[in-house]
Amino acid sequence: MTKKVTTEMVVEEGTPRCNGNHDTNSSNHTGEQEHKQHIQHQKQHHQQPELSNYDVDLQYDPITPEARKSTKMIISIRDQKSGYPLREYELVHDKLMHLIIVSEDLSYFDHIHPTFEDTAESFTISHKFPQAGIYKLWIDFKPKGGDRTLVAFEREVIGNQIHKPITLVYDGKYTKGSAEGKYQISLKLPEKIVANDDVEIVFSISDAANKPVGDLEPLMGAGGHSIIISSDTKEFLHVHPTEEVDPFWRGGPEISFRTNFPKTGIYKVWGQFQHQEKMIIADFVLEVI
């Protein structure tokens, strides 16, 4: 499947976007400059076509992915004007490409990073979808000298074990244990989250005995990462901490993020952190009024 990308961040339905001021890349643009450019883009709703016209092609091997079996994904990006493949990219949050995969009901989540070889024309990665059903995939990248771009795809996965969609319900719970049981993660929010207003969300990480974890490690060049997706999967926010960190940073237990929800409704937020070289992931359901 190929998609033509002609705007910096708005790719298909809704308003996919990235938030936060932390960005480690190989260009001369600072995180602050990128943030200002993004805000300007949101206000003016225009672009510079010579910088942001890309064809993004996502292929699967096998052509029809099957649950619990390895599927190779090949992502190729071409310049729309010349038709030539792009061969140079800049780091976005310590990676050349981010691939976020969710099931259509948001019960499944993965954030992975395809590999790009200097001699190749494509990014590749292998992935096992857990169950049959509909999945949505977001690809986040930045060509050298071009616009940071986010594009979304949808794919049906076949198999004998068919996923039964679960309705996403706001439960007001903001503390939960990690999957392996070693950590407790809490989320601090304003009493009300209002659409189109800036809001600060703060994750706090403790161990199983409720002792605050103060030696978190950098994850993808930051103190943590957060992905927020609306229940209809039309709104996507790739959120990053309000403070930058260096490779030797050790911190916590609180990691703060600032974002802006584009519309009312139910959202799911995932927080990702690293401790003792292992990933900590927690998800919560939010209500935006």
- pLDDT by residue for the chain (289 residues), tens only, comes to 777 553 333 334 333 445 543 333 333 333 344 444 433 333 222 223 334 589 999 999 999 999 999 999 999 999 999 999 999 999 998 999 999 999 999 999 999 999 997 778 899 999 999 999 999 999 999 999 998 999 999 999 999 999 999 999 999 999 999 988 999 999 999 999 999 999 999 999 999 999 999 999 999 989 999 999 999 999 999 998 978 899 999 999 999 999 999 999 999 999 999 999 999 999 999 999 9
pTM exceeding the 0.75 threshold for the entire prediction: yes
Cα 178 to chain centroid distance, Å, stands at 19
In order of start, what are the domains of the chain with their CATH numbers?
A: 2-157 (2.60.40.1930), 175-288 (2.60.40.1940)
